[in-house]
Structure 1
Amino acid sequence: MIKLIQNTELYTPKYLGKKDILIAGNKIVAIADNLDVYKNEAEVFNAEGKIVTPGLIDQHIHITGAGGKDGFSSMTPEINLSELIACGTTTVVGLLGTDGTIRNIKVLYAKAKSLESDGISAYMFCGYYGLDSVTITDSIQSDMIFIDNILGCKIAISDIRSSYPTALELVRKLRDVRVGGFIGNKKGILHVHLGNLDTKMDVLFELVNEYKFPIEHISPTHVGRTKELFDQAMEFAKLGGIIDITTGASKYTDPYKSVLYALENGVSIDNMTFSTDGNAGLTKFDDTGNAIGVRKAPIHKNLEEVVLLIKDGGVSISEAFKLITTNPARNLGLKHKGKIEVGYDADLCCFTENLKLTDVFAKGQQMMHNGTIIVKGNFE
């Protein structure tokens, strides 16, 4: 199937102006000022007046659900395809949380494959909060080598629910991730959940400064949980690391304001990403602060915070969209994602000039048309 998307106001996310895009199968095969020569043999989509960006990447989302801290009934459900399409997310990285028992790693893999069958791109991390990393094969390294969907391993630090890993224990996991990545032709990252203990990111600086481990393989998330943690995270970013700001939970201020604060303090926007922590279990409080139940962390906040960064923060569309396109793709080592370029996957989002999402394409297939989701999961 050949598709021709005409008259786009194209952000790759770099602004290119008025362009046509030609898609063959699931890949972008041409970008030019005018591709009318293909009109008679292609399915034509007129994007006149629409801003077109890469499809959005959520690199930390609980696709099989999470929660459970208040018993079995507090576990959140699996994510549906339409929930992701509704907010322009065409690539996800699923992961486990505190629970590595009920939330089974093989079920996580099955859900990722299910979302792929539905039409989007889905990856995952092995591991969970604990030091005893849960894997599909017999090791992190084997998972990295033999399972295409697995991009790295997750672990938690500075959290009372973590295993309080030492730098030596972490560097051994980093070794498995990195060597597995070499052989499996992946970048390989250790995705590090940060809690709110006073130790913050201290052990990560030890990995970089004392063990001299390459910083690009260390991926700290929830860095905006507290102001003190974010101040330390900015120093990590200035060393060349990529820091992940959670938009759906775990934040001391609005995530877009954290980005503005970091920019003011000399951090490059190329060293920051957004992810939602979507579908995590959050405590629900009444007006007096009493816990009254649980709720799901929202999955649409990445796009919402980017729009706020543009409209309220004055950051350009080209720069702001890096947080949910090129930057997470580079952090994850996804060479065919995050940009609109020839040879890349045909993941696209179309917006009005007021940045309202209207159309979504995932791997060349149109999933949303004029604000209506036209492709849903099997059981929706």
Structure 2
Amino acid sequence: MLTLIKQAELFTPTPLGTKDLLMGGGKIVAIEDEIKISSNLAVNIIDGSGFILTPGFVDSLVHITGGGGEGGFTTRTQEMALTEATTAGVTTIVGALGTDAITRTLPNLLAKVNELNQLGISAYCYTGSYQFPVKTLLTTVQEDILLLSNVIGVGEVAIADHRASHITCQELIRLASEARVGGMLAGKSGIVSIHLGDALEGLELLQQAVSQSNIPASQFYPTHINRSEHLFQQGLAWAKQGGFIDFTTSTTAQILAAGEVSAAQALARALQADVPLRQITFSSDGNASLPLFDEKGHLVDLQQAQVCSLHRSFCEAINEHGVAIGDALSCVTQNPADILHLWHKGRIAVDLDADLVLMDKQSLQISDVWAQGQRMVEQGKAMVTGNFE
């Protein structure tokens, strides 16, 4: 069935004003000032007046099979349910392993990716985890990226963190080279997702890898750049040199009090510092643990990250920090899609996937969500759920 959304304020994420949008067959069919259907085809018409229509959100880091465990077996976090993503406007998701790559496995991660794809959203994953040497599904990182359709990169490899494997510069260069070539051969990004801890060296290892090789800064995708003021300042310099920076939206009051910069504030400050918008993204780190360690590395608190923080930080950037809607939207749609080479995602244009979010123009509350043309959320209620939700 065709679906026609009429007279919504359209953000592609660039603001285009009031438009009609027609979708069918999972794709965007037409965008016009006014679309009239004169045939006898069945059309579901939705009044978009009073709403903004945006691309579906792209969350580039979610622990879809759960994570955590830094405080023992009782602190292992839960798997992500489908509706945790869809009700938050997320239609494209990238799964990853983290600290625990023993009880959380790559076969389980890939199975979860397949589950989410069958339920209607678009899911991908990274091979590997925090650790080095990297565990893979096939023989090598390059084989995983080249031969497994839903594997688009490697990570999140941990650096500057007491939980990391303390990968050397040369090892990181070889890993990035392998991922890069795998991506080239497969027509994928081959991105290297980098977890940044709170150690003072921060981004120094990435700087060394770029300066000592022919690997461009854009091959790396460092996240948690807002973890501390020190790391945030390093991130600004890195982005101005052509690197990407990802701000984590999930947090707690205790972590903010310990010095983390909120994602919304980090975005506003980065733009004020003339960091190119296209270099900046948000990700939720959903279903990961949010551990707080003391100066000796002892765990003092642990909470679970939430995918819905992506939309919450998007709203906060606009409402509390004065970021333009289109700019905030780019960080959760077009920018991550481009970095990951998901060219059919993250923007609204004819022939692209019909991944769409309808939000109230005043409150920015999510009303409806479509993933590849399928209505996943209607007037705030999930219409598609996992079998055991």
TM-score normalised per structure 2: 0.93
Structure 2 residue aligned with 1:312: 320
Q: Which runs of 4+ in 1 moved over 6 A?
A: 290-293
Give the paired residue count. Answer: 376
8 Å CA contact 2:70–2:291 kept in 1: the answer is no
1:366 to 352, 375, 379: 375
| 1:17 maps onto 2:25 in alignment | no
Pairing 1:68-87 to 2, within 5 Å after superposition: 68-87=69-88
Structure 2 residue aligned with 1:225: 227
For residues 190 and 39 of structure 1, what CA distance do their matches in structure 2 show? 49
1:356 to 359, 365, 376: 365
2:273 to 246, 249, 265: 265
Structure 1 residue aligned with 2:387: 378
Letter in 1 for 2:35: L
Give per-residue Cα distances to partners, 1:185-242, cap 9 Å, x unaligned.
Answer: 1121000001111211101011222313112111101111111011001111001111
Letter in 2 for 1:233: G
8 Å CA contact 2:56–2:90 kept in 1: the answer is yes
Give per-residue Cα distances to partners, 1:99-152, cap 9 Å, x unaligned.
Answer: 111001010000011011111010100111111212111110000111111110
Give per-residue Cα distances to partners, 1:283-339, cap 9 Å, x unaligned.
Answer: 489xxxx97864311221111111111112112111110010001001111110000
CA 66–38 in structure 1, closer or farther in 2 if over 3 Å, else same: farther
CA 129–83 in structure 1, closer or farther in 2 if over 3 Å, else same: same
Question: Which consecutive unaligned segments of at least 5 residues does structure 2 have?
Answer: none
8 Å CA contact 2:50–2:360 kept in 1: the answer is yes
2:343 to 335, 347, 372: 335
For residues 92 and 100 of structure 1, what CA distance do their matches in structure 2 show? 20
Give per-residue Cα distances to partners, 1:68-112, cap 9 Å, x unaligned.
Answer: 112222111111111111111111100000111100101000001
| 1:345 maps onto 2:345 in alignment | no
The percentage of counterpart residues that share the same residue type is 39
Question: Which consecutive unaligned segments of at least 5 residues does structure 1 have?
Answer: none
CA 38–57 in structure 1, closer or farther in 2 if over 3 Å, else same: farther
| 1:191 maps onto 2:199 in alignment | no
8 Å CA contact 1:4–1:38 kept in 2: the answer is no
For residues 151 and 52 of structure 1, what CA distance do their matches in structure 2 show? 28
For residues 79 and 317 of structure 2, what CA distance do their matches in structure 1 show? 29
Pairing 1:1-380 to 2, within 5 Å after superposition: 1-37=1-37, 40-41=40-41, 42-154=43-155, 155-249=157-251, 252-283=260-291, 294-354=302-362, 355-380=364-389
TM-score normalised per structure 1: 0.95
CA 39–93 in structure 1, closer or farther in 2 if over 3 Å, else same: farther
For residues 77 and 204 of structure 1, what CA distance do their matches in structure 2 show? 31
For residues 149 and 31 of structure 2, what CA distance do their matches in structure 1 show? 29
